[in-house]
Structure formats: structure tokens, C-alpha cells
Structure 1
Amino acid sequence: MQSRSSTNGSMLSRAGSTSDTAAARNKLFIENLCREQCDKTFNAATINRLVERGSARPELVEREPTNSGKGQSAPQSVVPPVTRGVDFLAQLRQPMRPSPMQHVSAFSRPQTVPPVPVSVPKRNLWILNSWRDLILYVGTPLLLVPIFALAQARWSAQDIYVFVAAFGAMGHHLPGMIRAYGDRALFERFRWRFIFAPMFLVGTCVAFYWWDLKGIILVVFFWGVWHGMMQTYGFCRIYDAKTGSFAALTRRLDFATCGLWFAAAVLLSPQRMTDTLEAFYSSGGPFISPGLLHIAQQAVLFAAVAVSILFVVNFVRLLGQGSRPNPVKLALLVTSIAFWWYCNNGVANILAGIALFEVFHDVQYLSLVWIYNRNRVEKDSSIGGFMRFVFRRSGSLVGLYIGLVFAYGSLAYFNSRMEIDTIKRVLTGVVAASSLLHFYYDGFIWKVREKATRESLGLTGGTSSSASNEFLPSWVLHGLKWAAVFVIPLGALWLGQVHSLTPETQRESWIVTDLPVGARQHLNYGAALEKAGQFDEAVEQYRIALSFDPTYAKVHYNLAKILMGQSKIDEALEHFAQATRLDPGEAEHRLHYGYALERVGRSD
């Protein structure tokens, strides 16, 4: 018994020694692992708990072999178990069982308390709110058409155009100028553009109008159409950003849809194309055959329809994917493109159409710029002076804002009433330069893809502003763009007009050949023939013009003058009477009508 007892004691001693050695190794291993993984030393109590957790797992306990012969299992060893092959890194990853008090240790789960459900914010589809967006941005054409119908009952299309072109078209240039020269950060970023561009454009425009070079008219016209199209496209980008849509395909389809429909409306407008071809041929441009013009018109129209179909398909695809594109953008595109088409092709007088769309454009622009500049002033403390004063959050300052716009536009109105030819040419050049500066500045100070612009418009998401990766310096690329869209075209038109030997009658006949349908081009051709002394041919063109538009007062007046010279008094009196009735505000019509009545002895 004593021998067995001593034997058991030695076995227990060896087992205990083995157990102590294994535990010591485990402690050392865990401590080193903790230092390596967590860069900190844990206290002994924590290490002991880890060892106990690792050794207490049943699959890691060393057991005595069973006695299968007797059908009984041998009693388990009372020796503290020795761990073999313990994955201590996995042990570290396993969480400690939290106590009822939610004790959190270094090895607890990152979050033991259930998170509070976060409510999903409701989508905001509007820039301002529903009714303001509908009035200022989307449904504005529906309000303008009846207003203009009432205005035309009181004023002529020429008077409406002069008023809108002055106080609207030129007046709305001012807010962009205020931001360009009042936003210190923006001015520092584009300092040299803001300094040299005005001097260059004013000098160029005044020179072209001084020498009556028509090329500047074409450049201003094309830049203006591009500017109007880009504003519509910009609103599409804003409404997409309101719903978090920044897909490249959607952006490209928006751009193509706007660009092609704006171009198609101009190409298919006889009145617009009459003015465009007249400026082009006056600048020495070559004759464009009617067949080529027809192909261009049909090609652009076909492309516009095709892109519109792709746009609708993409819109439906996004709906099917659950992306839910902004329906307000779709409504904006429909109303803007339809209204642009109506203003170019659906009005009797193109001046009224230009004025109509200009008001729509100005209302959109002025309201959005007001919101943008007000947010900039509130968020950027570096903006001070006049810009901070004007764009404070105050209802009374809205009146000041509109007053400043009208004051700036009064320069164009004063120019329209100027009788001194020299001063008129200079002022016309200044007005044209203001338009080009407006188009130019808006091309880079309102980019929605830039983070600062999105923040001031209350937009989130998208890509932040980043440095460009072009292979050329930015100033070189900018200069190349200027050369491509301004210097080279304007220089070519200038050289063409200076060296052109085409007489006016030939140029006007080209326009009639290209656009045989319409009163305007036949009126211009008749006036050129009358100036050249070809009165019979002029009378023929005037009669063709009246067949397209019997209410054209100027055609009646020009025809009556020739008939008076040919001693066809009765017919001349009839056309003088028509001209006076159709345009009662024109004093020249009444003067010649009175002279004709006096010749036949009628004092009424």
C-alpha cells in the first residue's frame, strides 16, 4: 500500500509538473501573442481566464484509454488537463460571455447592445419645393403663353422684344458678374480669365460692329443657343442629383437629348434659318445647296427621335431596377424642349418667340442664382462686401436684386433708342460683349459636378472635385478651346466678308432657294431687288411674301411704295391702308398713306 501510495504520489507529482509547465507555456504564448497583435500587455487574471477557457474544452482534454475488455471506462485522470494543439488566435477571436451587467472587455463583440433602427430619409425631388419649382422651372411656359398673348394685344412684337432683350436678356447677366467678381475664392482661382476676357471681348465686339462685320452676329447666336441648351441640361443634372443619380449613361443621354432637339428646332425654323443664312452669306460663306440643307435637317431630326427613344428606354430600365429616376426631370425636359420648339416654329413673329423663351430662361436663371449665392454667403465667411449685402436672407433684398438686374439691362434699352450711329455701334458692341462674357463665365462657374457648387445648391453625393489628368496644362487646353470656338471661326468669317464679291441680290436669292417657304426671306429678297432698281422683280417677291403671310405690314408698305412709283394709285392706297391697319403705331406708314391720299385729292 505504501509502495502504491508513493507510486501514485510520484505520478501526481510528474503530472502536476507537466501541467504547470504546459500552463506556463500557454501563458507565455498568449502574452507574446497579445503583445504582437494588440501591442499591449494583459494582466495575469485575463491570461489565466484565457488558459482556463482553452483547457476546459472537452476535445482538448487528454483522457485515459478505455478498458474495452471489461466494458467499463477507466476513470478520468485527476491530473489537470494538458492542452494540445490549441489555436490561441482563434481563442482570442472568440467573444467572452458577457455578464448580466453587459461588461465589455477587450475581447467582447464590437457591439453588445442592439443598434437603434435608423429611419431612411424621405426623397426630396424638388430644388425648392413642389409649387415653386413648378412655377419657376418646370411649368413656367404654361404661364408665359397667355401672358404674352395679352401683351401682344397691347404692344407690337418689336416692342416686346426690345423690352425683354434689354431688361431680361442683358439684365440677367449681372448676377453671374457679381459672383465672378464678388466671390473671392472664385476670383483667385480664375483671376486671369476674369481680367483679360472682358478686355478682349469688348475690344473684339466693338471692332466688328464698328466695321459692320456680320461674323460676330453668328458667333453670338450660336453661343446663345448653346447656352440655353446647357441651362436645360444643367437643371437635368440638378434634379438627378436630388435623387442620387450620377450614372454616366443617363448624363450622356440627357446631354444628347437636349442638344439634338435644340439644334433640330433651329434647323427646321424658316425664320431662324433666314437670319442665320443671311449672316452666313453676308460674311462670305459659300452657297449651301437646298439638298444638303434638307439632308442636314432630316439627319438631326432623326437623331433627336432616336436618342429620345433611348432616353425613354433607359428611364424605364432604371424604374425596373428600382432606381426610381426623378420624374420632375422628365417633366422639365418635356416642357423646355416643347417650349423651345414652339418659340422657334410655332409663333408668327420670331421676335416674339425669342422674347418668350428669353423670359423663361431668365426666370430659371435668376431664381437659381439667387438661391445659390445666398447659400454661398451663409456658408462661406470669406465672402463679404457687396455680395454679402445683396444676398442676405431678407425679403426686401429680393426687390433690390431685381432692381439691379433692370438697371444693368437699361444699357441695352438705351442703346435701342440711340439715334447717333457712332455711339450706337459702340454700345451694340458692349452689349454683345456682355452676352459673350455671360455665356463664357457660366461655362465654368456653375458646374454641378464640382463639390462646392453642389453644396451651395443643397445637393449631396456625386464625385468630389479632383484635379484633372489631362496631358496638357489647363491653360493650354483652355486656349485651344477659345481658338476652336471663337478665334478661328470669327477670323474666318471676317476674312470671308472682307474678300467677298457676292452682291446682296445674289445672297438673298440663295436664301430664297434654300428656304422657299416663308414670307420673311421673300421680303428681304424683294427689298434687295428694289434697292438694285429691279422693281418688277421686287413686286413679284412681295406678292409671294403676302401669299405666305397676308398680315405682314412691312410687305404691304414696301409693295405700296413701288406701286405708287408705277402710278398704280388705287392698288397702292389699298396696301397703304392695310399696312396702317396692321401696324398703327408705325408713323412712317401713316405719313406715306397720307401723302398718297393727298395725291388723289382725298383729305380724309
Structure 2
Amino acid sequence: MSDRSEPRFVSVYIISPFVDHALIIWAPALFLIVGAVISFSGQAGLTTSFGGHEQSFFYAWATAFTLAHIFAVFFRTHGNREIFKLFPLRFVAVPIAVFVGMQASQAFWIFIAVVIIGMDVWHSSMQTFGFGRIYDKRAGNDAEVGRRLDMGMALLTYAGPILAGVALAEHLVRLPWFERVGLSGPSDFRIFALRHQPAVTWTLVIGGAAYTLFYLAAYARLVRRGYRVPKQKVLLYLVLALASIWTWGFDSFGQAYLIMESFHALQYFPIVWFSERRNLLSRLRLEGRRFANAWGFVAFIAPCAAFGVWSAFFATSDTAVGICFLAEGLHYWYDGFIWSVRRNQV
């Protein structure tokens, strides 16, 4: 039976106009402003001593916020019975196996530490891609139409400035860690990559411009065939492009990390809460009770915040840091298959 036989109102927003604009679409611009204020106020060098460790205040805050959002995924993977029963081995056996492997082998521990950086870049790109696909679906478009075009644009706008900008060196900074286990190849690759970055930059500038023209022309054809352009998706990509090019391309890594990781985390929390609120209230037997949403939100945020603070200020041993790396890797991996627009999981 077609959707037309069951007419109903479908909002063009994921959550609501205010929440979407404030916490999703304009989140990159918000933290771009935050980063600028910190920089121009002269407070970028502010340090904090918490848990017996002195470190950059804003970098520590960004790390805590980032790791807090990392933990949030488990409310969907392990807290949602419908999702959990789809992939029980991935949610139980894989984490145990990877953790044991990291404890048993320093080389594997380093491998995970290096790989999650690339996973983070891919994951962050795909989060924008996913939001865009949801806006397409809310606008009444086929989930398959323009999918590959958007995936390419999401990667170009997020990963492109990293490869072409000053942040590339920091994204490759863990490769020399392999020297601890007698492997020099990764360090040599880092030197090679940085030496040839100018060529990569020009390739991305020219190729990116060409792809953008191709992208616009392809969507112009789709519009003529009936595609509805969701303005929310257009704004989402434009704001991301501005923030990504500016921060990854020109800012210091610390400021770029604060801006890009923080807005990404800010976008994630409302999505998880919006999708898992009813399930969480049901699991906690709070449905119908006074202040149910408030108590449920506290139950959602508190463990996320606790994990974030612990990760940023107290996780200092190899085992503790390994747990953080493992949680990051699982978050990036899980998000790739638990939010499918095509399978109507969002």
C-alpha cells in the first residue's frame, strides 16, 4: 500500500524547528563563535588541575564532552532491546575480544589507537550525511535518491580540510607510536604524507571544486525529476563547510578539536535522547510518573557525563586509556549500522 493512501502530517524537522536549528544545523557555527571568543579573549592558555593532573582547561572540557557523547551510543545499542537483538555478537563478543587483544598485545593497542582517528573522521562525516538523509526523507524524497552524492559531499566538506590543512600533522601524530614495537614504516609514512601535502592540497582544491559543480548539476537534474530540496539539509552542509574549512584548515589543532568535536557531540545528544527517551523511561519504569522526562534525562546524561569526566581527568594508565579508545572505536563502528534511514531505524 502506498504512503498516499494513509495521508498524515510529517514534520520536515528531525525533532523540532528550535532544537534542529540550535543543536544540529547551527551547532558548528555556535562552536566556531565559542572558539573565536576563547581565542580573542586571551584565555586559550587557561589550565586546570583536576584529579591531580594539570592540563588545558578548554581541551580537557572538549575531551570530556566528546567522551560523554561516545558513551551515549550504548543507550541505543545495549539499552534498546530491539536494536540489541539484531547484533548481539557485535555488542558483546567483539568488545570483549578487542579489549583482551589490547591487553595482550601492545602492537594491537597502538593499532586501535591509530585506527580510531580515521574512524572518527569517517564517523563525523557520516553523521552529517545521516542528518541530511533524514531531512531528505522528511521532505518526501526517496532514501536512495542522491545518497552517493551526499556521501561524497559529506566526506569532502569534513575530511577534505583535514587532508589539505594544518590539522593533518596531528591526525597522523600517533603513527610514530609503532616504533615502540619496532615498526618504523608508519613513521616514515607520516613524514612522506606531510612532505607531499601541498600536492594533496591542490588536488583536493581542484577536485573539490569540480565535485561541487558536479554535485550541484546532479541535484539540478534531480529537481527537474521531482526531487524536493530540503532547506535544512542545504543549511546543514553550508554551515559544516564553513566551520570545517576554517577550523581544520587554518586553526591550531587544539582550537579545531574544541570546535569540531564539541559541535559533533552537541548534535548527537538530542538525537539519542529523542530516539531512546520512551525506551529509557519504560526500562526505568518511569512512564506516567511525575517529572518522568526530567528523571529520565538525568539517568541519560549522568553516566555520559561521568564517563566523560573520568576519561578526561582520571584515565591515565594504559588500561584506562585503552578503555577510552575501545569505547571510541565501538561508538564509531556501531553508529554505522544502528541509524539506517533506509531500514527506517530513524
Amino acid across the alignment from 1:147: V
Q: Cα offset for 1:228?
A: 0.4
| 1:143-166 per-position Cα deviation (integer Å, ceiling 9, x unaligned) | 223333444544537321112212
8 A contact 1:239–1:329 mirrored in 2 = yes
- Percent of aligned positions that are identical: 23
295-304 or 427-436: bigger deviation: 295-304
8 A contact 1:214–1:282 mirrored in 2 = yes
- In structure 2, distance between residues paired with 1:389 and 1:414: 38
- TM score, norm. by length of structure 2: 0.81
Q: Cα offset for 1:280?
A: 3.2
1:230–1:412: structure 2 CA closer, same or farther, 3 Å change rule? Answer: same
1:193–1:247: structure 2 CA closer, same or farther, 3 Å change rule? Answer: closer
* 1:259 alignment partner, SS class: helix
1:142 corresponds, among 26, 29, 37, to: 29
- In structure 2, distance between residues paired with 1:290 and 1:178: 39
Amino acid across the alignment from 1:326: P
* 1:125 alignment partner, SS class: coil
Amino acid across the alignment from 1:163: W
Q: Cα offset for 1:315?
A: 3.0
8 A contact 1:205–1:430 mirrored in 2 = no
| 2:174 equivalent to 1:279 | yes
- In structure 1, distance between residues paired with 2:108 and 2:25: 40
1:221 corresponds, among 113, 117, 120, to: 117
1:251 corresponds, among 147, 151, 154, to: 147
| 1:309-355 per-position Cα deviation (integer Å, ceiling 9, x unaligned) | 122123333444443221110110111122122221232x2112112
Q: Cα offset for 1:370?
A: 0.6
Amino acid across the alignment from 2:202: Q
8 A contact 2:164–2:200 mirrored in 1 = no
Q: Which residue does the alignment assign to 1:369?
A: 272
Q: Cα offset for 1:188?
A: 2.2
8 A contact 1:201–1:437 mirrored in 2 = no
Q: Which residue does the alignment assign to 2:329?
A: 436
1:355–1:203: structure 2 CA closer, same or farther, 3 Å change rule? Answer: farther
8 A contact 2:160–2:204 mirrored in 1 = yes
Q: Cα offset for 1:122?
A: 6.4
| 2:307 equivalent to 1:403 | no
Q: Which residue does the alignment assign to 2:212?
A: 308
Q: Which residue does the alignment assign to 1:16?
A: none
- In structure 1, distance between residues paired with 2:259 and 2:193: 32
| 1:247-288 per-position Cα deviation (integer Å, ceiling 9, x unaligned) | 645111000111133232111122x22234443355322452
- In structure 2, distance between residues paired with 1:387 and 1:311: 47
Give the aligned length: 321
Unaligned runs of 5+ in 2: 47-55, 179-183
| 2:156 equivalent to 1:267 | no
1:415–1:389: structure 2 CA closer, same or farther, 3 Å change rule? Answer: farther
- In structure 2, distance between residues paired with 1:312 and 1:164: 35
* 2:136 alignment partner, SS class: helix
- In structure 1, distance between residues paired with 2:33 and 2:336: 33
Q: Cα offset for 1:438?
A: 0.9
Amino acid across the alignment from 1:297: T
1:180 corresponds, among 57, 64, 77, to: 77
| 1:183-225 per-position Cα deviation (integer Å, ceiling 9, x unaligned) | 22322221111111111222334456x5797443321110110
- TM score, norm. by length of structure 1: 0.48
8 A contact 2:139–2:229 mirrored in 1 = yes
* 2:335 alignment partner, SS class: helix
* 2:293 alignment partner, SS class: coil
2:293 corresponds, among 380, 394, 408, to: 394
- In structure 1, distance between residues paired with 2:76 and 2:193: 46
- In structure 2, distance between residues paired with 1:150 and 1:353: 13
Q: Which residue does the alignment assign to 2:53?
A: none
| 1:227-263 per-position Cα deviation (integer Å, ceiling 9, x unaligned) | 1011011001100000121264511100011113323
Q: Which residue does the alignment assign to 1:514?
A: none
Q: Cα offset for 1:449?
A: 1.3
- In structure 1, distance between residues paired with 2:107 and 2:152: 38
Q: Cα offset for 1:366?
A: 0.6
Q: Which residue does the alignment assign to 1:413?
A: 312
Could you say which structure has the larger radius of gyration? 1
| 1:272-306 per-position Cα deviation (integer Å, ceiling 9, x unaligned) | 22234443355322452777544333333333222
8 A contact 2:280–2:296 mirrored in 1 = no
Instruction: Indicate the structure whose relative CO is greater, using CA pairs within 8 Å and at least 6 residues apart.
Output: 2
- In structure 2, distance between residues paired with 1:194 and 1:323: 38
1:387–1:253: structure 2 CA closer, same or farther, 3 Å change rule? Answer: farther
- In structure 2, distance between residues paired with 1:437 and 1:176: 9
2:342 corresponds, among 424, 449, 459, to: 449
Q: Which residue does the alignment assign to 2:230?
A: 326
Unaligned runs of 5+ in 1: 1-117, 419-423, 455-604
8 A contact 1:176–1:438 mirrored in 2 = yes
Q: Which residue does the alignment assign to 1:162?
A: 60
- In structure 2, distance between residues paired with 1:227 and 1:389: 36
Amino acid across the alignment from 1:160: F
1:274–1:289: structure 2 CA closer, same or farther, 3 Å change rule? Answer: closer
Q: Which residue does the alignment assign to 1:337?
A: 241
| 1:517-568 per-position Cα deviation (integer Å, ceiling 9, x unaligned) | xxxxxxxxxxxxxxxxxxxxxxxxxxxxxxxxxxxxxxxxxxxxxxxxxxxx
396-405 or 216-225: bigger deviation: 396-405
Amino acid across the alignment from 1:361: H
Q: Cα offset for 1:129?
A: 2.5
Over the aligned positions, Cα root-mean-square deviation in angstroms equals 3.1
